[in-house]
Amino acid sequence: MAKETSISEFLLLEFSVVREHQILHFFLFLALYLATVTGNLLIISAVAFDRRLHTPMYFFLVNLTLQDIGSVSVIIPKSMFNFLLNTRDISYSGCVVQVFFLVFFVGSDVFLLTVMAYDRYVAICNPLQYEAVMNRQACTQMVASVWITGLLHGALHTGGTFAATFCSNVVNQFYCEIPHLLKISCGSSYVIEVGALAVSVIVQFGCFVFIIVTYVLIFSTVLRMPSIQGRQKAFSTCLPHLIVFSTFIVTGWFAYLRPPSQTPSDLDLALTVVYTFVPPMMNPIIYSMRNKDIKVALSKLFVGLDSAEKILPGFCVSV
């Protein structure tokens, strides 16, 4: 068994030891970070300034964008700081904070996407009951439950991870990722976090099954709609959510369930960057690409109401 070590800081993975490459990585991460934050802030602004988007679906969407901004902001600025200053360290407390908030935002994402699936189910399969079921109080309680559950999720995994003792301070990842922290823990001191991860997998699998069953019911209802326009409208609000969920859950499970490699590889690093950036960056694109409501709201932000109506005529508010 390796000797237990008192850890005051961790050493994160370097992308490159070549100074020019570090600067290049800094600007690459900066561009990706700004694109992600800007895209999500545009969605928030569009919903906030267009009263016709003050509906449950867009209320949930705003919370999703806040979670996406939070998840990238937890890890990317620190990585850019390390690139710029040619360092690789992160304090023990900084690592604890990073793990807590990352798990908090990612866990909240899963629970919120589950709530959004239920919202679409009620809107399409039980439209006459929609206003009664998805009223302001119910939506507020759902979102509050999502954030509170995310906080508990983050606290559970942070406590389980750092209850372990560490035999090394070298983390083979560019941020404090739980599987790589468990890799450097001593003996069986990580057993608490392994149990927490098992519980999370079960819960997330339950959310996954719920969403799949929900969308089977939604699509069966949509395909029975007599109106082609009605079917198109339903698909335009449901498909983005399904794409976002699929991208998020597949990349997340791959990152956390695969065993961490003994030595870092370019493939592992590339996959981690994809998992970190792609879901938060693609969400605004996916939701605005097929959603006429968002397109009109964004056009109003930039070119005014009259021009927006000319650009995108026939505007109608989604349920």
**Domain segments of the chain: what residues?**
18-311
CATH assignment of 18-311, given 2.40.390.10, 3.40.50.720, 3.40.50.300, 1.20.1070.10? 1.20.1070.10
Which region holds residue 221: left if phi is over 0, alpha if psi is between -120 and 50, else beta? alpha
Rounded to an integer, what distance in angstroms lies between the CA atom of residue 131 and that of residue 128?
7
DSSP string, 230-267: HHHHHHHHHHHHHHHHHHHHHHHHHHHHSPPPSS--HH
Predicted confidence at residue 256, as pLDDT, reads: 64
Radius of gyration of the chain measured on its C-alpha atoms: 22
- Asked if residue 54 lies in contact with residue 47, where contact means CB atoms within 8 angstroms, the answer is yes
- Of 103, 202, 93, 96, the closest CA to residue 151 belongs to 103
Binned average pLDDT, 10 residues per bin, the chain of 319 residues: 66 85 90 92 89 89 93 92 90 94 92 91 89 92 95 91 86 86 78 79 86 87 76 71 74 66 65 78 76 78 56 38
| Under 8 Å between Cβ of 74 and 99 | no
| pLDDT score at 266 | 67
| Residue 14: half-sphere exposure toward Cβ, Cα within 13 Å | 15
User: Can you say how many angstroms the Cα of residue 282 is from the centroid of all Cα atoms in its chain?
Assistant: 10
Distance of CA 18 to the CA centre of its chain: 32
Q: What angle, 0 to 180 degrees and rounded to 10, lies between the N-to-C axes of helices 292-303 and 19-49?
A: 100
DSSP percent split of the chain into helix, strand, coil, nearest 5: 75, 5, 20
Which residues, in sequence order, are bridge partners of residue 170? 11
CB atoms within 10 A of CB 55: 20
